[in-house]
Amino acid sequence: MQAILIGFMGSGKTTVGRLLAQKLATEHADLDDLIIQRAGQPITSIFAKHGETYFRQLEHQTLEQAMTVPGILSTGGGTPTIAVNAKLLMSSSVPVIWLAANDQTILRRVQHDASRPLVNELDENVLLALKQQRNRQYAAAADLIIPTDRLTPVEIVRQIKTWLSTAQRVLQG
C-alpha cells in the first residue's frame, strides 16, 4: 500500500484515490467496495440486517487484508474512528492522509445521497456533530492533512504526490 486516504463522508477520498492511483500507475481500492464484495450485499443492507457492530468487524477484517496489497486505499468515513482500525493505521508504515473539508462542503456533497446510511439516519446538526467528533480521530491517525474545500482533485493529488516523494527521500536519506 502506498497511501491510505481517510476523512469524513464527502471529503473526496474515492475521487482523489482513483486519480492518485492513476497518476502513480498503481491500483486503487475503496474499502467500502471491498466490504460490499466480501459481504455480497450493499452497505445499507449490511447495516439494516446486521447492524453497525457487525459492519465494523467486517470493515476491520477487510482493512487488514487491503493493507497487504500495493496501491492506494480509500477508507470509509468511520474506519479510523474504531480503536482497532486506528491502531492498525497508526502502527503501519503506510502514509495516512486526511482529506479534510468544512461543514458546508460536506453537506453540499452528501446531500440526497441514499447510498450513505448515516446521511439517511441523521439530521444535519447531528451529522455535523459526528463530523466534529471524528475530526480528532482523523487528526490522530493522519500523517498528512489536506484541506480540500478550495482545491480540485488534481490539485489535491499534486500535493499528495509531492509530499509522498519528499517523505520517500527522507526515509531513504
CATH 3.40.50.300 applies to domain 3-150: yes
Q: Picking from 34-38, 48-52, 56-60, 157-161, which range would have the lowest pLDDT averaged per residue?
A: 48-52
Banded model confidence at residue 112, pLDDT cuts 50, 70, 90: low
Global confidence as pTM? 0.90
The Cα 154–Cα 161 span in angstroms is 10
The C-alpha cell at 112 is 440526497
pLDDT of residue 108: 84
pLDDT of residue 116: 57
Residue that wins the pLDDT comparison between 167 and 52: 52
pLDDT of residue 173: 45
